A = this chain, B = another copy of it.
Amino acid sequence: ITAPDVIPPPASNAPRISQIMRFGFPGLANIRALDDYVISYDTRNRVPYWVCEHLNDANVTRNPEVDRSQCIFHEDFSIHEFFRSENSDYKGSGFDRGHMAAAGNHGLNMRDCRQTFLLSNMAPQVGEGFNRGKWNELEKYCRKKARQYANVYVCTGPLYLPRRDDDGKLYVKYQMIGQNHVAVPTHFFKVVVSEANTGELELESFLLPNAYIENAVPLSTFYVSTDVIERASGLLFFDKISKKKFQKINGNKTGWF
C-alpha cells in the first residue's frame, strides 16, 4: 500500500472552503468564499467566472424553516461599484437572473439560501425552457446525486463560444444588458465529481446553450469532454484528481479498473 492517491475529505470541522475546494481551484481571479459556496467573479462581464459547491445530503435537503420567498435578489456590495450588477440591469431585458450556485443546493438555513441570491452569483439566462427548464433539471440531477453519493462537487459557470460567420471567420458575439453592461453568456457549463461511499469517483461535464431547450431532450445530450469546457473557459477543473482515477466519465465506465 502506497500513499493515498486521492485527497481525503478534510475533517468535518475544517473550514468550509477547504471542503468545497478539496479537488482544486478552477482559477484564482477575484475569489470570495461564502458560507456554503465559493465564487470567482468576472469584473469585466459582471457575472461569475465560476462557482464551486460541495453537495451532500444535508445541504440539498430543504429545511422547512427556510422560506425561499424570503430570499430576495440583492446587489453585492462586496464588489466594486464599477463592476457590480443591479436588479435594474435585468429588468425588462427578457432574461432571468439565473443562479450559478443554485438556491436549492443551500437549504440548511436562511443565511446560506440568502447568499445564493446575491447578484454576483447570477448570470442572464433564458427563462422559459432553460432557467425554468433544462438548466433547472440539471440542478435537480445534481441534488439527486448528492442524495445517493457521499459527496458531490459541482463547478458551474458561463461560456462565450465563437461561431463561424458568413465571412468564414470565427467570432465571439454576446449581448450586454443594463447600464452596468452585464454579459449574456452564449452557453453554461457544469462539471460534476461524485464520490461514492466506496470512494469511487465519477466525472460528468455538461455544456448547454443559453436557449430554449425542448423538455424531451435528455441531459446526456449535453455531455462533453471536460477539456472542451476547459479550453473555452480558460479554467482547469478538479486538477488535483488524475483523470485515471475516474471509474466513470459522462456515464460510461472508463475501463481503467
Contacts and interface: CB of A to CB of B under 8 A. Distances in A.
Interface of A: 27-30, 42-45, 80, 82-83, 160, 162, 169-177, 181, 183, 227, 230-236
A175 B171 contact: yes
Given A27-B29, A234-B42, A172 B176 contact: yes
A44 B234 contact: yes
Contact of A234 (B28, B83, B175): B83
Given A43-B27, A231-B82, A172 B183 contact: yes
Contact of A43 (B160, B177, B234): B234
B235 A43 contact: yes
Contacts of A231: 82-83, 181
Contacts of A160: 44
8 contacts: A29-B29, A82-B227, A82-B230, A169-B175, A170-B175, A171-B175, A171-B176, A172-B172
A233 B170 CA distance: 22
Contacts of A234: 42-45, 83
The 3 closest A-B pairs by CB, nearest first: A43-B234, A44-B234, A29-B29
Contacts of A29: 27-30
Given A28-B29, A235-B43, A174 B175 contact: no
A99 B115 CA distance: 42
A2 B45 CA distance: 41
Given A44-B233, A172-B175, A172-B183, 8 more contacts: A27-B29, A27-B43, A29-B30, A43-B235, A162-B176, A170-B177, A170-B181, A172-B176
Contacts of A227: 82
Contacts of A181: 162, 170, 231-232
Contact of A173 (B44, B171, B177): B171
Nearest to A44: B234
